[in-house]
Homo-oligomer: A and B are copies of this chain.
Amino acid sequence: MASSTDRSTEPSVSDAVGDPVEPRWLDEDQQRSWRQYLEGTARFVEALGHDHDVHSAVSLGEYELLVRLSESPGRSVRMSVLADGLAQSRSRVTHTVHRMERRGLVRRTADADDRRGVHCVMTQQGYDLLVASAPAHVAAVRRLMVDVLTPEQLRVLGESMAAISEVCKHDHVL
């Protein structure tokens, strides 16, 4: 073993003739790209989160949640829709919303049709906080990503991650 996601010349572990047992290691280019993605994403999320700590009263995750609410009619979104949209577990959203509710940024209301349902509603205070946070957020996203890449790079990045997103969505069920 010498490299993370490992070399194409790795000796067979199983010596099996069949294929499913013998992993297809990554070649050098694939390896490099994969590691660049991993490190880049780690540093990016870290830097953007840090920026929120400094310039904003909401974390990146809370900001994203507020954005979803702001885009929805009535500034109200069902918990399950929030969870799906943010690609987070229901439990996580429950906890986050609970904390934000304590701070007066959101409220929870019952769903009239489905009595299991709960809506998360943004308060005026939450809206004001979103508006106040937006400029620094956009500036950071620009500085750390959008303005760093060429339009072409940014486009490919988005398309690639969208494709991965689809695969992961289905994979996750398995």
Is A162 an interface residue when CB atoms closer than 8 A count as contact? yes
Summarize A's interface: helix, strand, loop or mixed.
Answer: helix
Is A1 an interface residue when CB atoms closer than 8 A count as contact? yes
Kindly report how many copies of this chain are found in the complex they form together. 2
A161 partner, pick from B2, B40, B70, B141, beta carbons under 8 A: B40
Q: Total interface residues on A, using CB and 8 Å?
A: 72
A130 partner, pick from B1, B39, B142, beta carbons under 8 A: B1
Take A40-B165, A172-B47 as given contacts and tell me if A34 and B141 are in contact as well, using a CB distance cutoff of 8 Å.
yes
Whether B171 and A143, one on each chain, are in contact in the complex, defined by CB atoms closer than 8 angstroms, is yes
Whether B163 and A23, one on each chain, are in contact in the complex, defined by CB atoms closer than 8 angstroms, is no
Is A125 an interface residue when CB atoms closer than 8 A count as contact? no
Q: Which 3 A-B pairs have the closest CB atoms?
A: A40-B161, A33-B158, A36-B158
**Given contacts A2-B71, A5-B138, A36-B159, could you give 5 more A-B pairs where the C-beta distance is less than 8 Å?**
A5-B137, A29-B151, A37-B145, A144-B164, A148-B163
